[in-house]
Amino acid sequence: MDRVTLVTTRTDIALLFPGQGSQTPDMRDDVARELPDLLDRCIELVGEDPFARVDESTRFAQPAIFCASMAGWHRSDAEPTMAAGHSLGEIGALTAAGVLELDDALQLVVLRGKLMAEADDSGSMLALLGGTIEDAEAIAQAAGVTVANDNAPGQVVLSGERGALEEAEEAAREYNVRARPLDVAGAFHSPRMGPAVEPFREALAEVKLGDPSFPVYCGATAAPFTDVHTELAEALIRPVRWRETFLALVNAGAEDFVETGPGTVLSKMARRITKETANA
């Protein structure tokens, strides 16, 4: 399995929980093998098997990826000192740290996916490959869209109405930046997710929180969570500052990184971030 390891000494370990777009063909088998009861509960809450429709909607993708991440954490022998999650992955990270009970977390994920799927039917996302974060911000401003994810050097994602994203594609050419439309049915991490915030906040308010066994970093602030209910709700409309969040883990002493979920999306981002840091 291709996981990122920055050094061979296992000093301070940080867990990384991926978000949407990290699904793999075999992740259902992993869940069935590691956490069969969680798979059954997920199917019960969603109303059908989400793994069969993971590419169709965020409503199915989110619970499927969350369960796969929990299966990865379950089979891991890592003893973490901190963790972070990319968007959806924050709920997995908080669960691993003992802040959320597993069933509470799964119910939140199922609701989150449903609310986000219903919040916006005319938005999407656009990946900008190459250029700087300043280029991405200028392109977003020119097209009237939002910088949704600052993932890594040369990898920024914009979010907004589909017509406006087409304008962003045109603007990107002026900056010699490649633009690639993403196959998502919603402008995630933008104001267009606004209708999902309050109902998700209300559901979060009903969930009892435990004390974290290690710090979990929030992708919207690039700092440890201080108000889980508020920060998880507002994360729906706030950009994911993943590059800064990863560097905050490094600055906090993380020397080894374990990506617990399906795929290697975060591992690849980590290599890009650390390469830029080394060359700075």
Catalytic machinery residues: 87, 189
Q: In what order do the strands lie in the sheet with 82-85?
A: 223-224, 216-218, 82-85, 13-17, 256-259
Distance CA(276)–CA(271), nearest Å, equals 9
Q: How far is CA 93 from CA 30, 103, 143, in A?
A: 18, 14, 34
Strand-pair partners of 84: 16, 217
Rounded CA-CA distance 279/266 in Å is 20
In 3D, which of 236, 251, 221, 207 has the Cα closest to residue 87? 236
Two tokens, residue 276: 């830029």
Q: Strands, E, within 19-110: which ranges?
A: 82-85
Does residue 267 contact residue 2 with C-beta atoms inside 8 Å? yes
